[in-house]
Amino acid sequence: MRVLVVGGGGREHALAWAIARSPRCEALFCAPGNAGTAALGENLAISDGDIEGLVRAALERRVDLVVVGPEAPLASGLVDALQDAGVRAFGPTAAAARIESSKWFAKEVMTAAGAPQGGGELFESARAAHKWIEMLGTDALPVVKADGLAAGKGVVVPATIDEAHAAIEELIGISGRLVLEDRLGGREISAMAIVAGGVVSPLPLSCDYKRIGEGDSGRNTGGMGVYSPPGFVADAAGLFRAIHEPVVAEMAARGAPFAGCLYGGVMVEGDAARVFEFNCRFGDPEAQALLPLLDGDLLAALAGESSEPLAFRQEASVAVVMASGGYPGSYATGARISGLDDVDDDVVVFHAGTALDEEGAVVTAGGRVLAVAATASSIAEARERAYANVARIHFEGAYWRRDIALRELSG
């Protein structure tokens, strides 16, 4: 099979790495890719937003399957355009990608499917939302969400009523619609399932660290590290039966069948698991932590050519993200990265913001630069091995959180 992976982050390197291990993979292209994907196949200088260019490249290179990493091209209709051109794709159509791009659509689907979630209200004017906040008062401040894609900046969890009002003013401009949602208690997990060929195939559960600073302080990022599995979820299989399966059935019933990775952001409190958002693609850096646990053929699953759920080793995994100093604010690029060949054979370093300079050396080219992923029989061991290998990699200004997976170990 000739495969094109769309995107250039760590998630896409992890997908390309796992696809390249499949006996079905004959040729691999990444657009635009990074220095890590360049070592696995051919990088194409096409941005993930260039729908026409991606369709043309897939046709010219006789690609059998396009695997789309990021949400923006999915919401913009890349899969629809590929299908119109007769090219098979892994990822939802624009209509099905609304499960991520419209928070309200996701709530309507969950309500119809009977999937557990928090309460919420839709507002089409800032004035009505401000009134609602005043009515709820300080003790029941809701989460404020833009009803549209906002590159990770569309959700505010206000600490005060003034912050809630400010969030309404800030977010109403994104799509003219807001969802004010009940705050859910508990601990957050990422619950992802590959949906293809009529099979809902769960990945191991994981926990993402979204804030830049240790102790979950500072600004939100794309994700600074992940561990798997969370020990506080008693019935992972039951969670997918209660959430993903009915939602997939409901999407099909609505004429917007979902194919792709259905990623539920879920709060777990005791035995209760409630969805606070859906994404329509693999998590980043969740993919970097989970794909090294693969014990099956990812490409067969993505192509819908497997009738069985994908198998994963029942082990622990920890991925630590190394970022450029200053991220998620401004940061320098072009710093040479050393030590990439010094990591243990069974530890995987996934590239995100990297490029090759004119001498062929790997240099930094983004905020999140690398994810170092280690698997082991326990989270403690996986964590120790991930950090031991992070310490062997160097670039100027490198920053990483020291506390990935620590809260799982401290209970």
Task: Tell me which residues touch ligand GLY (CB under 6 A).
Answer: 208, 223, 279, 283-284, 286
- Residues 6 or more apart whose CB falls under 8 angstroms from that of 254 comprise 109, 112
> Is the Cα dihedral 391, 229, 145, 352 positive or negative?
positive
Alpha helices in 27-91, H assignment, sequence order = 35-38, 51-60, 71-75, 78-84
Consecutive H or E run containing 144: strand 143-146
Nearer to ligand GLY, 147 or 286 (CB): 286
The residue among 41 and 154 lying less far from ligand GLY, judged by its C-beta, is 154
Instruction: Write down the residue that tokens 């079905």 correspond to.
Output: 24
Cα-only R_g, the chain? 21
**Closer Cβ to ligand GLY, 93 or 279, answer by number:** 279
Report in angstroms the alpha-carbon separations of 373 from 300, 317, 350, 370, 376: 23, 7, 8, 10, 10
Quote the least distance from Cβ 213 to ligand GLY, whole Å.
Answer: 16
Q: What share of the chain is helix, strand, coil (3-state, %, to 5)?
A: 35, 30, 40
223 DSSP 8-state letter:
-
Question: Nearer Cβ to ligand GLY, position 286 or 297?
Answer: 286
> How many alpha carbons lie under 13 Å from residue 281 in its C-beta half-sphere?
27
| Least Cβ distance, residue 17 to ligand GLY (angstroms) | 17
Helical (H) or strand (E) element with 113 = helix 103-113
CB of 283 to ligand GLY, least distance (A): 4
Among residues 175 and 279, whose Cβ is nearest to ligand GLY? 279
Q: What DSSP assignment string belongs to 372-396? A: EEEEESSHHHHHHHHHHHHTT-B-T
What does the DSSP 8-state code read for residue 138? Answer: G
Min separation Cβ 223 and ligand GLY, Å: 3
Contacts of 86 (CB under 8 A, 6+ apart): none
42 closest CA partner among 60, 125, 108, 116: 60
Per the DSSP assignment, residues forming a β-bridge with 279 are: 263
- Token digits of residue 137: 């008062």
Least distance CB 127 / ligand GLY (angstroms):
31
Q: How far is the CB of 221 from ligand GLY (least distance, A)?
A: 9
Q: How far is the CB of 285 from ligand GLY (least distance, A)?
A: 6
Q: Closer to ligand GLY at the Cβ: 1 or 13?
A: 13
Q: Which is nearer to ligand GLY, 37 or 279 (CB)?
A: 279
CA 341 to chain centroid, in Å, comes to 27
Dihedrals phi, psi of 141, to nearest 5 degrees: -60, 125
* Contact between residue 121 and residue 180 where contact means Cβ atoms under 8 Å apart: yes
Question: 50 and 326 in contact (C-beta within 8 Å)?
Answer: no
Question: Given the complex with ligand GLY, which of 12 and 286 has the nearer CB atom?
Answer: 286
Cβ closest to ligand GLY, residue 178 vs residue 226: 226
Report which of 101, 38, 370 is spatially closest to residue 260, judged by C-alpha positions: 101
Least CB distance to ligand GLY at residue 184 (A)? 17
C-beta of 230: minimal distance to ligand GLY in Å?
A: 14
Instruction: Report the nearest approach of ligand GLY to the CB of residue 318 (Å).
Output: 15
Q: Which is nearer to ligand GLY, 9 or 36 (CB)?
A: 9
